[in-house]
Each structure stands twice: as structure tokens, then as C-alpha cells.
Amino acid sequence: MTDQRVKQIADILINYSTKVKKGDYVQVIADTEAEPLIKELHDLILKKEAFPIIKLSFSWQTYSYYKNATDFHLNHFPELTFEEMKKTDVVIFIAGGKNSRSLNNIPPEKISIKQKVLDPISKERLKKRWVIFDYPSDSLAQEADMSTE
């Protein structure tokens, strides 16, 4: 049984924050830690007769990318991602994860290079109806000096 708070958050994100409507293409970009919320969003998007596009990331993924990416990777512009963003109506980004400091020992220059390359996609995303939600996680609780419970 789904936690009522998760259902309420999903309802707010779909019906208030982004006002999803029939025919919308809705990208949900989230860490796998937020699976209960992702499922609720998926179901609500379908009930709106919109189209869910679920993009999952794993807690290890960003660190692994920056640790292993070469200049070739960092400087590559992902055309497919850009084209997909152009056709997207709504973006729901669910932040969270297991380790909020996973990139602390990655050279900031690497991150900066990639952010500059991705800037056109970021600008395109800002033209959409979008929201960022911090999914409650152990990592965020620790950052807030709260118990994980």
C-alpha cells in the first residue's frame, strides 16, 4: 500500500506544480531511491491521458561518469537529448539519493565543462513547465542534521 504522503506529493506535482494535461509528454527524471513517488507520478500522468517518460539514475551513476569520462565524453553534445527536450511539455525532476557529497573529490573543472556543453538543453528545459522536488532521503536528512527516521 502506498504511503498517503507520497500520493499527496504526486498529486501536487502533477495537478498544481506542472498542471499536466491530456497529450503532454512528461519527463520524470529521478534517482531510483524515489521509486514509490515515481510510480505514483507514472500512474497519475497516464490518468491525465498524458505520456510518461521515466528517466532513472542510480546513486553511483554521476560519480562514475565524472570519474571515467574523457574529454571526448565531456565535450560531446547529446543531440538526441536536446531533440527529446524540444518535444517535452513537462519536466519533473526528483532530487535525492544516497550521497549528497559524492562529487566532492571530482575536479570542478570536469563538471563545469559538461555543464557548459549541456547549457542549450538547460535553457530549453526552462521553457517548459517544470518542477524540482527533493525526495526525502537519508542523505538529505543528514545534511539537515536530522535523524534518518
Q: Which CATH architecture has domain 4-143?
A: 3-Layer(aba) Sandwich (3.40)
Encode the chain in three state secondary structure: CCCHHHHHHHHHHHHHHCCCCCCCEEEEEEEHHHHHHHHHHHHHHHHCCCEEEEEEECCCHHHHHHHHCCHHHHCCCCHHHHHHHHHCCEEEEEECCCCCCCCCCCCHHHHHHHHHHHHHHHHHHCCCEEEEEECCCHHHHHHCCCCCC
pLDDT band at 142 (very low <50, low <70, confident <90, very high): confident
pLDDT digits (tens, 9 = 90+) for 64-117: 999 999 999 999 999 999 999 999 999 999 987 666 677 788 889 999 999 999
pLDDT band at 144 (very low <50, low <70, confident <90, very high): confident
| pLDDT surpassing 80 at residue 2 | no
- Of the candidates 65, 77, 80, 63, the residue with the CA atom closest to the CA atom of residue 117: 77
For residues 41 and 96, what is the distance between their CA atoms, to the nearest angstrom? 16
- Of the candidates 56, 44, 51, 48, the residue with the CA atom closest to the CA atom of residue 6: 44
pLDDT on residue 4? 94
pLDDT digits (tens, 9 = 90+) for 26-70: 999 999 989 999 999 999 999 999 999 999 998 888 899 999 999
pLDDT band at 140 (very low <50, low <70, confident <90, very high): confident
| pLDDT surpassing 70 at residue 8 | yes
pLDDT on residue 99? 67
For residues 84 and 125, what is the distance between their CA atoms, to the nearest angstrom? 10
